[in-house]
Amino acid sequence: MPAPDPDARDAARAARGDTRAFERLYVAHAARVQTLARRMVGRDLADDATQDVFIHAWEHLGQFRGEARFGTWLHRLAVNLLLRRAEVARRITARIAPGTIEELHAPSSSPETRMDVDAALARLGPGLREVVVLHDLEGYRHEEIADVLAISVSASKMRLHRGRMLLREWLRP
Amino acid sequence: MTTPRDRDHEGQDRLSEYLDGLLTETETRSLEEHLRGCERCRSVLAELRVVVDRLHADPTDSVSSDAWPRIERQLGTRASSAPASYMIEARTLRRITAVASLLLTFAGGIWVGAVLYVAGPQWWPGWMHVGARQSTARPSPDLGSLRESLAAVNRELAAAETALTNQPATPGLQDAVQQLRRIQLRLQAVLDSLNTAQRMRDSQPATSKAPRAGQTP
């Protein structure tokens, strides 16, 4: 029998408008959401994105049915929101100045300098970053990634490999 | 154009899957055979391992202490619009009242069953012993259904309570909330009792789990 969800009671209370219960949920899950946001949209936008995720979760608590654990529900909600946010940011940047994304994401240091993981992830192109983050950093399986990104399992595998091959170049010591 | 030499390294595209243990046994054997004779692919594989290890070592962030107050302020300003789904309409009220009545009856039956279950076979009526002898086990209440019922009650109660806050003058709403609260408490108590009984039953030796034939109060 699966262990009971420790957040179920607070989730039900928060759904009734109890902000103290929602604060406890925030304390329990904020670090994971913040880390996910930093990996998906970058360090500069991570704070705002985390805030948006929790406000979005508050507004949609009525949809939490308790079928999955609250942490799993929140994580999936965060991934979907962050994917949309990253896509919007990409479209805006591309419309303002096509080609700017690569320049913005290009390493500021010389090629000889070791790039950190954040900069390397930011440099990955559309589609690759999400798959690498979800698989290698958030522990999603290819089937789950395929579901979230609406792509095939083989596309997910291919993107992961392409992403890792690029990171291999950029993260080389 | 693909040269014979490139074809030799076609397995390179599947090194990530190999690294993650996702290849079939045949594919793994074939790739390992290639790796034994190919320094270039071995080198790429080693570098991919380093990449994955570095990603796995990426730490979890800490959250600044002023983050929650900022979020809480937003919750306050959005409180009236946030639970839009909780704004009650006449048909929602009818649904809540109907669910409350139905569950009150249902929970009453479950309550009696659960109390008897926890009390043990010596308190069971005769028909339960007949059923138990046939199945050679205690009649086990369906915990999954009870949990689902409790989740349904919680949802309805959340909707009703929020609606009551927003529209306190709605006729019949106060009664619906009180009914749902009673059902919630009763279902929760039943679930707690059943969980305790289940734990006690699991800790007993297997022979003592089935009721003895002919046992009477």
Secondary structure letter of residue B206 according to DSSP = G
Neighbour tally for B55: CB within 10 Å: 21
Mean pLDDT of chain A: 85
Percent of chain B with pLDDT over 70: 53
Give which of A112, A65, A167 is closest to B58, Cα–Cα: A167
Whether residue A55 and residue B17 make contact (CB cut-off 8 A), yes or no, is no
Identity at B29, one-letter amino acid code: R
The more confidently predicted of residues B82 and A29 is A29
* A63-81 mean pLDDT: 92
For the record, the structure tokens of B143 come out as: 């915990």
A115-144 burial, b if ≥16 CB within 10 A, otherwise e?
bebebbbbbbeeebbbbbbbbbbbebebeb
SS3 content of chain B, % helix, strand, coil (to 5): 75, 0, 25
Whether residue A30 and residue B54 make contact (CB cut-off 8 A), yes or no, is no
d(CA A54, CA A51): 5
Q: Is B58 left (phi over 0), alpha (psi -120 to 50) or beta?
A: beta
Test the A interface: residue of B51, B66, B153 with most A CBs within 10 Å: B51
Q: CA triplet A51, A53, A59: central angle to 5 degrees?
A: 105
Burial class (CB in 10 A: 0-12, 13-18, 19+), B190: buried
Test the A interface: residue of B55, B166, B167, B181 with most A CBs within 10 Å: B55
- List of chain B residues whose C-beta atoms are within 8 Å of the C-beta of residue A65: 151, 155
Whether residue A55 and residue B75 make contact (CB cut-off 8 A), yes or no, is yes
Identity at B164, one-letter amino acid code: L
- pLDDT of the residue at B127: 44
The more confidently predicted of residues B140 and A68 is A68
Residues B157-199 have pLDDT tens digits of 777 777 777 666 666 677 777 777 777 787 777 777 777 777 7
pLDDT greater than 90 at residue B132: no
- Kindly list the distances between the CA atom of residue A80 and the CA atoms of A28, A77, A109, B74, in Å, as whole numbers in the listed order: 20, 5, 32, 21
pLDDT greater than 90 at residue A153: yes
The more confidently predicted of residues B192 and A55 is A55
d(CA B136, CA B157): 39
d(CA B172, CA B90): 10
* A11-23 mean pLDDT: 92
- pLDDT of the residue at A112: 39
Nearest to A17 among B47, B59, B162 (CB): B162
The SS3 call for residue A130 is helix
* A140-150 mean pLDDT: 95
